[in-house]
Chain A
Amino acid sequence: MAIAVIGIGMHRTGPAFRRHPFGTPMALLGLAVMLFRVEEPPQPESEVVAAAIDAAMWLLPALIGSALVLMGAPLYWRTRLLPLLAGWALIVAAWYQYYSTMSVVLSDALRWVSALLGVILAFTVFALCVRTAERMTPQEPETEGLSEKERKYVESVLRRHLEVADEP
């Protein structure tokens, strides 16, 4: 799981059109290590594996369905009916699977709230630490303006990318 999380972290660095080259292979390697085990894991990890397999029964259709709905919904482009309908079918199947395999009782609410508070605590401590680290970083001097040569270079790059003919 650690390898998969590091791989996902790597994949998220850099611009969307040029992700880290090792991100996806590392995430897939982590997934493969999780799925294909040579020997049974010891306690308490074996219980985690059993819980993960149970959860995968509804999590997998939920994840694939969510991705399809996001592809089909009119977020950035027109509605794409086929992925949208297939996604909703999978989401409905995921909910059906969840209610047929998982037993939810009211006393679980206390556990849910506690788990949420734990997550919030971890992120709050992280945010405070990042703020402290940033405050401890010495201020860099103000950057000087572009020189005439740099200005012309930036202008030509922008013109090329905006497909405007260079000035004579």
Chain B
Amino acid sequence: MNPDIESAISAFAGSAALTSLFIILALIGTLNPYHRPAIPMLGASTVILASTYLFAKTVGIPADSVALRMTMSEGVFALFDILSLVFLVSTFMFLQASLRKRPEDPLLALLESETGPE
């Protein structure tokens, strides 16, 4: 297989698996009596297993626990790759936020008149 295509499939499978793992961990962290996490957890687990299978088939290794760990590692590399894109978009948003003028807020003006300007 073309190395670029193999790398792209690995990034796809890895990021899908790692994001699903984060979703499961977030579901565990936010567990409360009103939660119904069974179906979302089942869905996220299915994505992890399917991604591991896809990664193992692409790389040519057996779909076992080692493949699962390698898929998660690929996910970390893939997420590090797209973090620069996220930072690029964030930088533009920070630029907009830094340059904009805050609209006059009558409630804040009232608060300032009571407490004095800061």
Chain A residues in contact with chain B, CB under 8 A?
2, 5-10, 12-13, 23, 44-45, 47-48, 51-52, 55, 59, 62, 66, 69-70, 72-75, 77-79, 84, 87-88, 91, 94-95, 98, 102, 104, 107-108, 110-119, 121-123, 125-126, 128-130, 132-134, 136-137
Most B CB within 10 A of own CB, among A8, A110, A129:
A129
Are the C-beta atoms of B40 and A133 separated by less than 8 Å?
Answer: yes
* CB-based contact A118/B30 at 8 Å: no
Residue of B nearest to A2 (CB): B25
Asked, given contacts A6-B25, A132-B39, A133-B39, whether A75 binds B97 with beta carbons under 8 Å apart, the answer is: yes
Instruction: Please measure, in the bound complex, the distance between the C-alpha atom of A95 and the C-alpha atom of B7, giving whole angstroms.
Output: 25
Known A-B contacts A69-B98, A88-B98; the reply to A111 vs B73 at CB < 8 A is no
Binding site for A on B (CB under 8 A): 4, 7-9, 11-17, 19-23, 25-30, 32, 36, 38-40, 42-44, 46-47, 51, 69-70, 73, 75-85, 87, 90-91, 94, 97-98, 100-102, 108, 118
By the criterion CB–CB under 8 Å, are A126 and B40 in contact?
yes
Q: Across the interface, which residues of B come within 8 angstroms of A72, CB to CB?
A: 98
Our pick among B12, B43, B84, B97 for the contact of A117 (Cβ within 8 Å) is B12
Question: Which of A5, A94, A110, A113 makes the CB contact (< 8 A) with B26?
Answer: A5
Quote the shortest CB–CB distance from B101 to chain A (angstroms): 7
Contact across chains for B47 and A55 when beta carbons are under 8 A apart: no
A/B interface sample: 11 pairs, CB < 8 A: A5-B29, A9-B27, A13-B30, A45-B69, A70-B97, A74-B98, A77-B118, A102-B84, A118-B19, A119-B82, A122-B19
Q: List 19 other contacts, CB 8 Å, given A69-B94, A117-B15.
A: A5-B22, A5-B29, A6-B26, A9-B28, A9-B29, A10-B30, A23-B29, A48-B73, A52-B80, A69-B98, A74-B102, A102-B84, A111-B81, A112-B11, A114-B15, A118-B19, A125-B20, A125-B44, A129-B42
Q: Which one of B7, B47, B70 contacts A121 once the chains associate, using CB atoms below 8 Å?
A: B47
Q: Is the beta-carbon distance between B97 and A118 smaller than 8 angstroms?
A: no
Chain A, interface SS category = helix
A122 touches B16 (CB 8 A): yes
Which of A8, A73, A98, A121 contacts B98, CB < 8 Å? A73
Instruction: Compute how far the CA of A98 lies from the CA of B83 in the bound complex, rounded to whole angstroms.
Output: 11
> When chains A and B are docked, how far (Å) is the Cα of A75 from the Cα of B43?
38
Closest to B37 in A: A133
Set of chain B residues within 8 Å of A110, measured between Cβ atoms: 4, 7-8
- What A residues does B40 contact at CB under 8 A? 126, 129-130, 133
